[in-house]
């Protein structure tokens, strides 16, 4: 900076006109931003402006509840149990067929959960692997293309 723009202490000089102009612009810009948002002149990702695309239609899916499964974890667990509940995401056209196969699905899930090691059930990072294993077994029972996903709604070790 030049010598004229600094005072004797080496700090920039303070021009009162710049301060007044800055203080006057703050409410004007804030008010303008509020109006633009309120009048929906600014498009928002959630759909605030007139340029937003309509939401895509949801896929034709249904959810089939899986009855709660309670599994004793064996003598080495000290009498602990696992309570497991889930929902199966299916194509809506197959909802009745998958519900009809629920006894087989419960049998497969019971058998798998009884065979899993206690350490694997207690590991917090193992949920993804357990879910994938159960989904694959359910897909084998119901046939390819019927069950899209297995949503775990309850997984309690006590």
- Do residues 40 and 69 both lie within one domain? no
Range of the domain at 29: 1-55
- Do residues 71 and 116 both lie within one domain? yes
SS3 category, 84: strand
- Do residues 14 and 78 both lie within one domain? no
Q: Tokens in use for 34?
A: 């509020």
- Does the pTM exceed 0.95? no
Residues 111-137: pLDDT tens digits?
Answer: 999 888 888 888 888 889 999 999 999
State how many domains the chain has. Answer: 2
- Do residues 68 and 105 both lie within one domain? yes
Q: Of 158, 156, 157, 136, nearest to 148 (Cα)? A: 136
- Do residues 75 and 6 both lie within one domain? no
- Do residues 67 and 139 both lie within one domain? yes
How many alpha carbons lie under 13 Å from residue 73 in its C-beta half-sphere? 19
Residues 70-104: pLDDT tens digits?
Answer: 998 877 777 789 999 999 999 999 999 999 999 99
Q: Name the band, by pLDDT with cuts 50, 70 and 90, for residue 16.
A: confident
- Do residues 138 and 100 both lie within one domain? yes
pLDDT at residue 53 in the model = 65
């Amino acid at each position: 900076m030049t010598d004229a723009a600094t005072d004797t202490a080496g700090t920039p000089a303070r021009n009162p006109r710049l301060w007044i102009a800055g203080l006057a612009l703050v409410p004007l810009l804030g008010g303008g931003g509020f109006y633009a948002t309120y009048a929906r002149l600014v498009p928002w990702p959630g759909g605030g402006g007139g340029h937003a695309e309509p939401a895509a239609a949801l896929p034709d899916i249904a959810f089939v509840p899986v009855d709660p499964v309670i599994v004793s974890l064996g003598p080495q667990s000290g009498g602990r149990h696992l309570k497991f509940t889930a929902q199966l995401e299916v194509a809506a056209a197959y909802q009745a067929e998958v519900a009809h196969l629920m006894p087989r699905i419960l049998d497969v899930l019971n058998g798998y959960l009884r065979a899993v090691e206690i350490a694997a059930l207690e590991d917090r990072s193992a949920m993804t692997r357990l879910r994938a294993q159960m989904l694959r077994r359910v897909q084998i029972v119901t046939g390819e293309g019927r069950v899209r996903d297995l949503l775990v709604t309850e997984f309690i070790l006590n």
